[in-house]
Amino acid sequence: MNLSAMELSSEQLQAVLISAKSICVLTGAGVSQESGVPTFRGPGGLWRQYRPEDLAAPEAFERNPLLVWEWYAWRRELIQRAQPNAAHLGLVKIEETVTGRDGQFTLLTQNVDGLHERAGSRNVIRLHGSIWQLRCASCAEEREDYSVPLAPFPPRCSCASLMRPGVVWFGEPLPEDSWQKAADAAAACQVFLVIGTSALVYPAASLPLLGKRNGARVVEINPDSTSVSEIADIAVQSKAAEAFSALARFDRQKERA
Ligand code: OAD
């Protein structure tokens, strides 16, 4: 049988996934790119002239909260209109298959968009928080708010202070409980699937290496090379939704054969 590069990747990928008892997945902005949510780096990554580091930081919020909120309001609007794509849905299917045979499946995501949860993923650990969560910049008040547009804008707490997005900013620690669970899942898994992250932002970027050092097979899906490509056992150089659509086609072909 003559296999194209994509079919070959799908065959390898399926073989690896079928045999694994425990799978850990790390996703980044690239997994939502085909849903219409722009990534942070690379083409289309800049908002106005700003880099994410200029906006996703406590100092940026102190300096100009309105500018930071305008950026998040723009992303909230895009995300609200977006639908989960074949990659989000494919991960749900893998979770169902693995847990259906009493295996372990953990989805670690750097994304704050909530698309994995909307697709139906269950064991999701959000490393960088949620764009739908608002937190008071002064008191402990927190609330979920899915309204687009937000009113009043920028949003205020009942204590009259400004609310901030409930996401982790540069220079801030990750929630301790989420980080511990993520590190444990990374260290214990047999297969570590890394999808759509530039692997430039730490500590999340250290997780695939932690998996590799503990014996996991590392599989990457990303159209570009990253530091993960160097340690990956399989690097599928493709967009995430395209790779999962090819995997689904491959499954159907095999069923028919
Ligand atoms: P980046 O924007 O840094 O990287 C996106 C990655 O996705 C790149 O490696 C692209 O090659 C890849 N990519 C693009 N389109 C893709 C597609 N259709 N399918 C698969 N891969 C694709 O995003 P992250 O790595 O998620 O943090 O960035 C990490 C963190 O930096 C974010 O969580 C955010 C940001 O600043 C905070 O806000 C704290």
Q: Please report the domains of the chain, with CATH numbers, ordered by start residue.
A: 1-37+84-128+174-257 (3.40.50.1220), 40-81+131-167 (3.30.1600.10)
Give the model's pLDDT for residue 1: 42
Give the model's pLDDT for residue 214: 98
- Name the residue among 186, 179, 180, 154 with its Cα closest to residue 22: 186
Q: Which atom of ligand 1 is nearest to the CA of 53?
A: 36
Whether residue 120 has its Cβ less than 6 Å from ligand 1: no
- Enumerate long-range contacts of 3-8, CB under 8 Å, 24 or more apart: 6/238, 6/242, 6/243, 6/246, 7/246, 7/250
**Cα separation, 3 vs 39, whole angstroms:** 31
Whether residue 215 has its Cβ less than 6 Å from ligand 1: no
Q: Which atom of ligand 1 is nearest to the CA of 198?
A: 9
Using the mean position of ligand 1's atoms as its centre, give its distance from the Cα of residue 226 in Å.
11
Read off the tokens for 10: 């799908």
Whether residue 208 has its Cβ less than 6 Å from ligand 1: no
Whether residue 223 has its Cβ less than 6 Å from ligand 1: yes
If one counts every other C-beta atom within 10 angstroms of the C-beta of residue 160, the result is: 9
Give the model's pLDDT for residue 6: 62
- Residue 121 three-state SS: coil
**φ/ψ bin of 226: left (φ > 0), alpha (ψ from -120 to 50), beta (otherwise):** beta
- pLDDT tens for each residue of the chain, 257 residues long: 444 556 667 788 888 887 899 999 999 999 999 999 999 998 776 777 888 999 999 999 999 999 999 999 999 999 999 999 999 999 999 999 999 999 999 999 999 999 999 999 999 999 999 999 999 999 989 999 999 999 999 999 999 999 999 999 999 999 999 999 999 999 999 999 999 999 999 999 999 999 999 999 999 999 999 999 999 999 999 999 999 998 887 777 777 77
Contacts of 171 (CB under 8 A, 6+ apart): 57, 58, 59
**Is residue 91 within 8 Å of residue 23, measured between CB atoms?**
no
**Cα separation, 56 vs 58, whole angstroms:** 7
* 165 phi/psi in degrees, rounded to 5: -65, 140
Give the model's pLDDT for residue 187: 98
**Cα separation, 211 vs 191, whole angstroms:** 8
Tell the residue nearest (CA) to atom 33 of ligand 1: 110
**Cα separation, 17 vs 20, whole angstroms:** 5
Whether residue 27 has its Cβ less than 6 Å from ligand 1: no
Determine the distance from the C-alpha atom of residue 105 to the mean position of all C-alpha atoms in its chain, rounded to a whole number.
Answer: 15
Using the mean position of ligand 1's atoms as its centre, give its distance from the Cα of residue 61 in Å.
22
Whether residue 85 has its Cβ less than 6 Å from ligand 1: no
128 is catalytic: yes
Tell the residue nearest (CA) to atom 2 of ligand 1: 40
Pocket mutation for ligand 1, best pick of 32, 35, 40, 179 (most atoms within 8 Å of C-beta):
40
20-53 in b/e form (b: 16+ CB < 10 A) is: bebbbbbbbbbbbbbbebbbbbeeeeebeeeebe
Read off the tokens for 73: 């309001």
Using the mean position of ligand 1's atoms as its centre, give its distance from the Cα of residue 146 in Å.
23
**Cα separation, 34 vs 182, whole angstroms:** 26
- The structure's pTM equals 0.95
Tell the residue nearest (CA) to atom 6 of ligand 1: 197
